[in-house]
Structure 1
């Protein structure tokens, strides 16, 4: 490509000039009625593909266009793959955190979010079927104004380079190289090799041809076996005029399979052996071919042919996720290199690092499983940012004046306990506190009653242990234990209170 000096007036005019204009005659025609699909057969298809391999791509591109128009299934799945890319969210990441980088990124973000940029994306994804796509960029003062899809039949690859595109001359021969910065050329890398052999139309062409045969034979079958046979009978004395009138009447009922015979004659119709079940034969063949096209274009058949549950379709997401990611990555690489970099160079000068335009492919997630996992992990101390969940669930940050949802607070009763177990526990505590008042030098304030147990028994046990240390024999120790005065009733009361509370709380089951 010839370099254009952004500072020169000549370079600016070259950018603003429309290049790939259509004409009334020649290769770059505004209206085109050429057809390759009409009368397509194995020999004709082989010639079309062989010519494309040698660089003569006009007939192949015509066939690829017709396949999208004539075959509903191929057109549908190819459009699904295109729209999957067109519907992705667009993001621009600044090159650095300085003000100039943010300013450039804001400008590029306005560029990619514009309605005109939709035309660029739509034009470039056309290359998925045909192997390449070229979109002419319209400039005005180093600012892009519009993007115009150009018919791929306006172009040819160089005779010495199967990757370099040239604008065709009026006689169909390869012309000059494309002017620099005037075209964005996207060549999807669906397979290794030259671009013209990597389009989806080439992969689907054989299935398309076979399906046209299947549909033609199916229609012929329905015409013969799906219509009743009309038989007109005339008497022996009928004149030729009467016979002609009868024949016209029979023929007007339907097409073919019509006959008139004398009443004295008999005609027996025998059903062909292969006619039974013929309708399912053609239908199964057509459905099988559709599945092959679906696998070629979408990478799967579930959402296009087989029918699926909601969960299955979410996993497959119409286009297989790895294909969508690859398509998005390749397309953004083309746009970053051929449009965004020149745009920045023209308006801000050459940069060391450039902002990155990207198409965001959202990963399908099981939201219910995510929420359940967070619900279980947070009580264990696992820290989860609230903004993370908001982004995953698509819940916006609330404004100051928004009415917020929340869990209704439940006020605990401050009067008498409502549960019988609570009442028993309260009465037991009251009685126990009264009985143990002489054993405590500090207030009783423990709900579980365990402090009561310790306070009641601690002093008595210490006294007993001190006496046991003075024993001179085992028999004397037994005598001291038997004669020890421990307040066992107080200990029993505390243990009983704790058991009642545990039963009321559900900690202990009966």
Structure 2
């Protein structure tokens, strides 16, 4: 077949037809089953009808269930909000492409996939792929661009999930409702089929809408009752009074006037009649509806986001919510992993095969947050370990702390210079630098040893001067009963101190300290 790529088959072993890929398989039609008509099963929904819809979705007729899932996103603001957060958070994660091999061909295939994921609008299309989170699955048609003799996805076209059904045998293989209403298989290399596994089971039972449907139903009852309650008791009672001799005509006039006051806030009645407003006191009665609606919303938040802190007004919600970042981490990772798996299976392989032929190993799309690293701890460890011989690359450290390589003529930050040694011999040229440095080090060490010897000798001479003062002093202080006794004891001890000898020792110590300072050393 000239229309078939020679020897090329998809992941299921089906041959690839060129002509089929150039025509949209599931484009909408004005006649037939693929129409954008409106279905609103949420209107007048009852527990019995909901049970029937959910059951029929498993028995090969998912259309009404999928229409209900769409209806719920439009009618329930809370569900629409939290589901939107979950889809946008995953679609906004970092996308990277890993080459299947390290050779030139592997890198060329990886770059081809990078061109696809870096295309403008690709992340927005991922939101359509993630429509599966609510409905259980999504089918997005790959619209190919062959204008430059290459096969590149022009866009991923979202297709209404009501246009699809599943194989009656396995319940997992998606089938398109054809123009004649009969299911037909999806063309190979033309679809990204994404099943979202919020729970184990068939794709039609894996979405969140199935679990949220019952909360949606009960909340709709609650809000309806709440609206009736507010309409009936939220306004003051308008009580009309008439005389005992009033005619039926007069009564009708009064009733019409009282009724119009609630709508028009204006009415006229004869002088003989009166209208009295009785204040409605409903304190506490309406809280039942609000609490029930809030409780149902929190259950929806738990199943969609895995937590309630970022969406519901609960105590400590703001502080706790900042740690969750919208969607719980394990749910975000699972969604990202499943999404990457579907793209690698249905998009990456198709792009690589159509442009470069079958490969032993294909590039991989990876979706997720980059690993967070404690930069402060890293720098501290490097500073401590480099002096002990730890080899650390400059480029690696710059990448870790998020700094770019300095430009060629860019002014650099440097550590403050240490004061120069005035006694060190000058270094005249590069060839004599090592020798001069060796001489300098030797002289400094010699001076340091001399100063240390003199200092130790001076410190040793202190012992005979202070020995008469401190001998037995600790025991006498312990036996003293007051601070006055201690002062008197110390004064008596210092009476025998040789002041001249002490003065001489202090002078010699001061000279030794100055000598050490001149050599840039400390005692």
TM-score, length of structure 1 as denominator length: 0.74
Residue 310 (structure 2) pairs with residue 303 (structure 1): yes
Residue 385 (structure 2) pairs with residue 381 (structure 1): yes
Give the alignment partner of residue 53 of structure 1, picking from 52, 55, 58: 58
The Cα offsets for residues 151-210 of structure 1, whole Å up to 9 and x where unpaired, read as 01111101112110111135654x121111111110012211111111010011111111
**Other-structure match for 1:15:** 21
What stretches of structure 1 of length at least 5 have no aligned partner?
416-441, 459-486
**Other-structure match for 1:334:** 342
Q: Distance in 2 between matches of 1:68 and 1:314?
A: 25
Q: Judging changes above 3 Å, is the alpha-carbon distance between structure 1 residues 252 and 363 closer, same or farther for their aligned structure 2 residues?
A: farther
SS in 2 for 1:359: strand
Give the alignment partner of residue 452 of structure 2, picking from 450, 453, 468: 450
**Other-structure match for 2:30:** 24
Q: Judging changes above 3 Å, is the alpha-carbon distance between structure 1 residues 451 and 49 closer, same or farther for their aligned structure 2 residues?
A: same
Alignment check: 8 A CA contact 1:48 1:60 kept: yes
> CA offset at residue 107 of structure 1?
1.6
Q: Distance in 2 between matches of 1:208 and 1:364?
A: 38
Give the alignment partner of residue 190 of structure 1, picking from 179, 189, 198: 198
The Cα offsets for residues 69-109 of structure 1, whole Å up to 9 and x where unpaired, read as 11000011111111011111211112222222222211210
- Aligned-residue CA RMSD (Å): 4.2
Residue 162 (structure 2) pairs with residue 153 (structure 1): yes
Q: Judging changes above 3 Å, is the alpha-carbon distance between structure 1 residues 255 and 277 closer, same or farther for their aligned structure 2 residues?
A: farther
Give the alignment partner of residue 67 of structure 2, picking from 56, 62, 67: 62
Alignment check: 8 A CA contact 2:309 2:318 kept: no
SS in 2 for 1:278: coil
The residue correspondences of 1:354-433 to structure 2 (distance < 5 A) are 354-362=362-370, 370-374=374-378, 376-381=380-385, 391=399, 394-400=402-408, 409=416
Alignment check: 8 A CA contact 1:22 1:28 kept: yes
Further displaced range: 309-318 or 72-81: 309-318
Give the alignment partner of residue 258 of structure 2, picking from 245, 250, 260: 250
What stretches of structure 2 of length at least 5 have no aligned partner?
8-14, 423-443, 461-500, 517-521
Alignment check: 8 A CA contact 1:126 1:133 kept: yes
Alignment check: 8 A CA contact 2:306 2:331 kept: yes
Q: Distance in 2 between matches of 1:293 and 1:271?
A: 34
Alignment check: 8 A CA contact 2:92 2:123 kept: no
SS in 2 for 1:13: helix
The Cα offsets for residues 456-490 of structure 1, whole Å up to 9 and x where unpaired, read as 799xxxxxxxxxxxxxxxxxxxxxxxxxxxx9998
SS in 1 for 2:259: helix
TM-score, length of structure 2 as denominator length: 0.72
SS in 1 for 2:311: helix
Q: Judging changes above 3 Å, is the alpha-carbon distance between structure 1 residues 457 and 68 closer, same or farther for their aligned structure 2 residues?
A: closer
Alignment check: 8 A CA contact 1:116 1:147 kept: no
Alignment check: 8 A CA contact 2:144 2:153 kept: yes
Residue 290 (structure 2) pairs with residue 283 (structure 1): yes
SS in 2 for 1:74: helix
Q: Judging changes above 3 Å, is the alpha-carbon distance between structure 1 residues 402 and 263 closer, same or farther for their aligned structure 2 residues?
A: farther
Residue 212 (structure 2) pairs with residue 204 (structure 1): yes
Q: Distance in 1 between matches of 2:97 and 2:352?
A: 13
Q: Distance in 2 between matches of 1:228 and 1:79?
A: 41
Further displaced range: 336-345 or 140-149: 140-149
Q: How many residues align structurally?
A: 439
Q: Judging changes above 3 Å, is the alpha-carbon distance between structure 1 residues 123 and 493 closer, same or farther for their aligned structure 2 residues?
A: same
Q: Judging changes above 3 Å, is the alpha-carbon distance between structure 1 residues 59 and 163 closer, same or farther for their aligned structure 2 residues?
A: same
Alignment check: 8 A CA contact 1:119 1:147 kept: no
Q: Distance in 1 between matches of 2:340 and 2:114?
A: 13
**Other-structure match for 1:5:** 4
The residue correspondences of 1:67-86 to structure 2 (distance < 5 A) are 67-86=72-91
